[in-house]
């Protein structure tokens, strides 16, 4: 692989052989990068990853080595939507997320109203009939939680637990 960077005539070049290079990850900072598909294939063949990110650290794109996997797992994932497993998994994960947010609202933020509202969405997850419905309930619960966290950060928490429980 041939790497080159610089501006105008002021350029640097590096050549990596297929063997003995020790490259595990190639990271580009900035979006003024030209990468060929052949280069990405070379990285994949070398089991090395590629990352392109903005100067502020925001990841723009990434690739990584493909690992062999169990065919039974791939089949199960492919059939998850048809068998109802996808909905069960979504319910389970989002229920855990909302339960965690409800616990933080109750125990850390001392906001029982927010905790109760999130608990309602968490309970409704159990009867959601589609993944879209699960997503909607998660969104509503997360909105309640995020609004409270933002409010808590802006105003600080000065009320005692007994004042909040009234």
**Are residues 86 and 42 part of one domain?**
no
Q: What whole-number distance in Å separates Cα of residue 77 and Cα of residue 85? A: 9
Token code pair at residue 118: 């999130």
Q: Give the range among 10-14, 59-63, 147-151 with minimum mean pLDDT.
A: 147-151
Domain assignment present for 68: no
Domain containing residue 135: 80-165
Assigned domain for 69 exists:
no
Cα–Cα distance, 153 to 149 (Å, whole number)? 6
Q: What is the pLDDT of residue 158?
A: 41
For residue 71, tell me if it sits in a domain: no
What pLDDT score was predicted for residue 140?
Answer: 94
Give just the sign of the alpha carbon dihedral 7, 12, 13, 16.
Answer: negative
- Provide the number of structural domains found in the chain: 2
Same domain, yes or no: 91 and 150:
yes
pLDDT tens, 123-162?
999 999 999 999 999 999 989 988 877 676 666 554 444 4
This prediction has a pTM of 0.52
Q: Taking residues 26-49, what's their average pLDDT?
A: 88
């Amino acid at each position: 692989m041939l790497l080159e960077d610089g501006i105008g005539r002021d350029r640097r070049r590096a050549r990596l052989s297929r063997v003995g290079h020790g490259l595990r990850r190639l990271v580009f900072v900035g979006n003024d990068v030209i990468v060929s598909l052949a280069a990405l294939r070379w990285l994949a063949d070398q089991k090395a990853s590629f990352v392109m990110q903005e100067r502020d650290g925001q990841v723009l794109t990434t690739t990584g080595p493909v690992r062999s996997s169990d065919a039974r797992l791939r089949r199960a994932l492919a059939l998850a939507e048809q068998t109802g497993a996808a909905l069960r998994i979504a319910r389970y994960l989002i229920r855990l997320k909302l339960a965690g947010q409800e616990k933080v609202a109750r125990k850390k933020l001392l906001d029982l109203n927010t905790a109760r509202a999130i608990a309602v969405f968490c309970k409704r997850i159990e009867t959601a009939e589609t993944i879209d419905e699960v997503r909607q309930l998660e969104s509503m619960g997360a909105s309640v939680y995020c609004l409270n966290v933002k409010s808590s950060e802006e105003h600080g928490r000065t009320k005692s637990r007994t004042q909040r429980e009234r």
